[in-house]
Amino acid sequence: MPESLRGGVIGAGVFGGYHANQYARLPGVVLSGVFDVHPDRAAAVAMPLGGRAFADLAEFLDAVDVVTVASPATFHAEHALAALAAGKHVYVEKPIATSVADGERVRAAAAAKGLIVACGHQERVQSRAMGLLDIPEQPLRLEALRHGPPSDRSRDVSAILDLMIHDIDLALAISAADPVTAEGEGRLSGDGVWDIARAEVSFDDGFTALFDVSRQAAARNRTMKIVYPSGEVAIDFVARTLSNTTPFALNADYADTPAGKDPLGASVEGFLMAVRGEAPRPIVNAEEAIRALDLALAIEQGLAG
C-alpha cells in the first residue's frame, strides 16, 4: 500500500467537487485527477486542488488508486465497473446503480477482485454520531420527511432514488426486520420524473416506515421521528437538533462532532480506512446499498402502478 493513495473523481459536478476537496484535504491521500466528458469542468475542479483533468477514462484510471463515482446516477454502475475492472477500490455516490441487477454486478466484480466498494449513504454517519445505531430495541415506527426546493441536480432519477433512498437505508439499518409491503402515491414533474412521493412500508415484525419526499418544496425541511417501545427520538436535520425520551443515551450535540460537522468527510475517510485495512469495512457497503436500492425501486414501481 503506497504511503499516500492517489484519489480520483469521476464526474465534475457539485458532488464531484465535494469529493475532490475531500481527497485534497484528508491525510494519507492526494487528489490525483478528475475525469469528466467535459474537460473544462474537470479542469475547474481538479486544477485548483493540485490535480489533473482527464477526458480519457483509461488514462484517468491509470493515474489513481481509489475512485469516487460522482457522475449522474444512470452512469454509476458503468463507471464503478470500469474502475473495478482496472483494479481500483470504489466509492459510489448513492444510488449504487439504477437497477438491482447492475448493483449486483458491481458487488460481484468487487468481490471477485477483493476490492472495496462503499456507497454514499451519509445518514449512517450522522446516525452513528448520535448513537442511534446502538439502540438495542427494535423500532415500532419511523416517519421521515425530506423536502427541498427545485434543483437541476439529479434530474436523471426520481426523488425516490435521489432523496428517499437515504431514509430507506437508515430504516433498514436500525431494524433487523425485512420489508414485506410498500404502498405510496406521488406526483410526476413535467419531464415525467417523480418529484413528490409518499410511501409507507411494512416490515415482517410489525415495524412501519413512512417516507415523504419532495423536490418541489418552498424551503428545506428534513425531520425524522422514530418510535420505540420505550420512547421516541425526534430529529430536525435542518435545525440540527435531537430530542430523546427513550432510556438510551444519545448525543444531542452530534452536530458538533467531527462526523456531524462533515458527514461526507467521515464517509470518505471510512472508505479509505477500509482500503488501507484499518477498518473491517466501509460505513455502507455494496450489499447494504443494493438492499436500499431494491426497496426504493419497489416503492417507485408501486407509484407507477
Amino acid letter, residue 55: A
pLDDT of 1 reads 62
Indicate where the chain has its CATH 3.40.50.720 domain(s). Answer: 5-120+265-284
Domain 5-120+265-284 bears CATH identifier 3.30.70.260: no
Q: Considering the entire predicted model, what is its pTM?
A: 0.95
In this prediction, residue 2 carries a pLDDT of 65
For residue 305, the model assigns a pLDDT of 55
Q: Which three cell numbers stand for residue 173?
A: 439499518
Q: At what angle do helices 123-130 and 263-276 cross, to 10 degrees?
A: 90
Nearest Cα to Cα of residue 216 among 242, 190, 234, 237: 190
> What's the confidence (pLDDT) of residue 304?
65
What is the model's pLDDT at position 152? 79
**Cell numbers given for 110:** 468487487
The per-residue pLDDT string of the chain (305 residues; one tens digit each, 9 = 90 and over) reads 667 999 999 999 999 999 999 999 999 999 999 999 999 999 999 999 999 999 999 999 999 999 999 999 999 999 999 999 999 999 999 999 999 999 999 999 999 999 999 999 988 999 999 999 999 999 999 999 999 998 877 788 999 999 999 999 999 999 999 999 999 999 998 888 999 999 999 999 999 999 999 999 999 999 999 999 999 999 999 999 999 999 999 999 999 999 999 999 999 999 999 999 999 999 999 999 999 999 999 999 988 65
- CATH 3.30.420.40 applies to domain 123-256+291-304: no
